[in-house]
Chains A and B, each alone.
Chain A
């Protein structure tokens, strides 16, 4: 049988029973669409996280108290050593490193802000003028904390966009006096809104000079020290220098963890990449189910078309011809389902991107190829058994079936 005839014959056989064909194609399409859509979500989450991290600041190196293995979070290590605290002196010492461009100490705690009878709990960050540069933040109004001695800060505060809206509504916030904890501060700046992001949400943050924050928390420790390396290439050098400076200051003990954004990114990348693969695997199960469905439907089709198979044999069709006809039909149904599913999946991903523009829900190429490949593979694989059964039917008995 010629290939075009084979394809036409299989197509006619498939369209001869539209309901059966519709459900088969639909099952296959759902499987492929699931792979495309779910991996689009998984990979979208990965890209979203990566984007969020890059927006935190470039060339960022973070020093935090306590020893931990690079890149991993090991609870064992966290417990065994009692780490020395990081102090403002430590942070100032880090400025000496040649590969370091800027340093911003960070002390964090919760406090209350009140103005004009309104009271609200807030996240209070004590830092210095460098913070806005290191974290790549923007101001909506006013100015940031001024440069100056880290140990003496004026009673000035910069507030996040959401705090401003909630505490001042339509009133002017700049220049207002507010009470934070038991101290009075003057608002000098409002941060530009960044929306919900990873890490600290700066919209609900109140920033004050680090010395005042420490006084309010009644502590001289730092939550962490943010360091901006002088260039992307000098991140590793900066890391080594920071580590050496801290070791010297902490009596030869390496009791801090220095993480780079790259390492964090790599960890998240791996984590979310693995998740995407897992999700793809789960979605692929639906393809296997679709494959089994193909087999069942084709087996039923062989039974229903027994008389026709007997006739084809009487008319001179070889077993191979009949096997090919049924295999072609299974393959065609799978291809149709796979293509339809591809379109569904891409459309779904496009709708998600439309609804959440900041979420890059693009299915990765490997997942699309794997989805289409698995669909074809299972369709044909599960088509083999029915096709062979059809090819082996006894012509005389088949012809007597109705």
Chain B
């Protein structure tokens, strides 16, 4: 039985804009087990990205606790959170976010470069990633020489290069046409098949339906937590009553 990878309880996230307050997340309790495939869905502005940023340790909640792999990460220093991001979390963004002056290979290697992985080990892993994602011919191309699908493949290769436990994708197909989007989703799902926990934000119902579990957000709150085919995953989490 897999343990709970992510435990969010009582999470609040409030943005202050001048005098007004925006409750991007209200009293959120979510529990996600290792190896799950979760789609976060909901209308625009419902707090999906905010939730993903919190889970990815890019943002901190105003209230509540977040336990990642069993330990409370809300109290960690920025430095410690950076290390967790480096080793446990991979991000895939809607707009790819590749560094334009670096080649595909260098972009893929970037997390390892930042983490100080030895060059030899880096080259080895990048070569394998290029092969796995069919980018061998594109290794020395810069992002502006790549198609959208190729760019997102580079981004996915980069997100997985540190072999994280968790991949967070915020509308990864938002800038792609349907068939390329399909291809990218299959890549991500393939990672999930290998045991990586996958959380995908999308507002495309058909894409969301592919996930075994869907979190439906509305106005910062969790409206629905739905399993496509309940497989007894709930028992690892202590759901609030």
Binding site for B on A (CB under 8 A): 1-2, 4-5, 9, 12-13, 15-16, 307-308, 311-321, 395-396, 399, 402
Decide: A314 and B91 in contact? CB cutoff 8 A. Answer: yes
Cβ 8 A contact of A317, one of B82, B87, B101: B82
Task: Tell me whether B97 is interfacial, beta carbon within 8 Å.
Answer: yes
Decide: A316 and B115 in contact? CB cutoff 8 A. Answer: yes
Given A9-B113, A12-B102, A16-B101, is A315 in contact with B86 using a C-beta cutoff of 8 Å?
Answer: yes
Decide: B82 and A311 in contact? CB cutoff 8 A. Answer: no
Residues of B within 8 A of A15 (CB): 101
24 contacts between A and B (CB under 8 A): A1-B113, A1-B115, A2-B119, A4-B119, A5-B113, A5-B116, A13-B101, A15-B101, A16-B101, A308-B99, A311-B97, A314-B58, A314-B97, A315-B111, A316-B83, A316-B85, A316-B115, A318-B79, A320-B79, A321-B114, A395-B59, A396-B53, A399-B58, A399-B97
Residues of A within 8 A of B99 (CB): 308, 311
Decide: A318 and B59 in contact? CB cutoff 8 A. Answer: no
Task: Tell me whether B66 is interfacial, beta carbon within 8 Å.
Answer: no
Q: Give the residues from 213 to 239 in chain B that come closer than 8 angstroms, CB to CB, to chain A.
A: none
Q: Which of A9, A15, A314, A395 has the largest count of B CB atoms less than 10 A from its CB? A: A314
Cα separation A87 to B87 with both chains bound (whole Å): 97
Decide: A396 and B58 in contact? CB cutoff 8 A. Answer: yes
Find the A residue at minimum CB distance from B114.
A317
Q: Which of B86, B111, B114 has the largest count of A CB atoms less than 10 A from its CB? A: B114
User: Total number of A-B contacts with CB less than 8 angstroms?
Assistant: 71
Proximity bits, B65-86, A CB within 8 Å = 1, else 0: 0000000000000110011011
Decide: A1 and B114 in contact? CB cutoff 8 A. Answer: yes
Decide: B101 and A315 in contact? CB cutoff 8 A. Answer: no
Band of interface residues on B: 20 to 34
Taking the nearest CB of chain B, how far is it from the CB of A10, in angstroms?
Answer: 12
Decide: B82 and A319 in contact? CB cutoff 8 A. Answer: yes
Find the A residue at minimum CB distance from B155.
A311
Binding site for A on B (CB under 8 A): 53, 56, 58-59, 78-79, 82-83, 85-87, 89, 91, 93, 95, 97, 99-102, 110-111, 113-116, 118-119, 158, 162
Cα separation A14 to B162 with both chains bound (whole Å): 27
Decide: A307 and B97 in contact? CB cutoff 8 A. Answer: yes
Residues of B within 8 A of A312 (CB): 110, 114
Taking the nearest CB of chain A, how far is it from the CB of B99, in angstroms?
Answer: 6
Decide: A315 and B158 in contact? CB cutoff 8 A. Answer: yes
Taking the nearest CB of chain B, how far is it from the CB of A309, in angstroms?
Answer: 11
Taking the nearest CB of chain B, how far is it from the CB of A96, in angstroms?
Answer: 86
Taking the nearest CB of chain B, how far is it from the CB of A229, in angstroms?
Answer: 72
Cα separation A399 to B53 with both chains bound (whole Å): 11
Taking the nearest CB of chain B, how far is it from the CB of A361, in angstroms?
Answer: 42
Decide: B82 and A1 in contact? CB cutoff 8 A. Answer: no
Decide: B59 and A396 in contact? CB cutoff 8 A. Answer: yes
Residues of B within 8 A of A315 (CB): 85-86, 91, 110-111, 114, 158
Decide: A316 and B58 in contact? CB cutoff 8 A. Answer: no
Residues of B within 8 A of A5 (CB): 113, 116, 119
Decide: A313 and B58 in contact? CB cutoff 8 A. Answer: yes
Given contacts A314-B58, A318-B79, A321-B114, 8 further A-B contacts (CB under 8 A): A2-B113, A5-B113, A5-B119, A12-B101, A16-B100, A315-B114, A316-B114, A395-B59
Q: Which of B56, B78, B162 has the largest count of A CB atoms less than 10 A from its CB? A: B78
Decide: A314 and B114 in contact? CB cutoff 8 A. Answer: no
Q: Which of A5, A311, A316, A402 has the largest count of B CB atoms less than 10 A from its CB? A: A316
Residues of A within 8 A of B115 (CB): 1, 316
Cα separation A315 to B109 with both chains bound (whole Å): 11
Residues of B within 8 A of A311 (CB): 97, 99
Residues of B within 8 A of A320 (CB): 79
Cβ 8 A contact of A318, one of B78, B97, B158: B78
Decide: B82 and A316 in contact? CB cutoff 8 A. Answer: yes
Cα separation A307 to B96 with both chains bound (whole Å): 11
Cβ 8 A contact of B111, one of A4, A316, A318: A316
Find the A residue at minimum CB distance from B164.
A316
Cα separation A12 to B101 with both chains bound (whole Å): 7
Find the B residue at minimum CB distance from A316.
B86
Find the A residue at minimum CB distance from B79.
A318
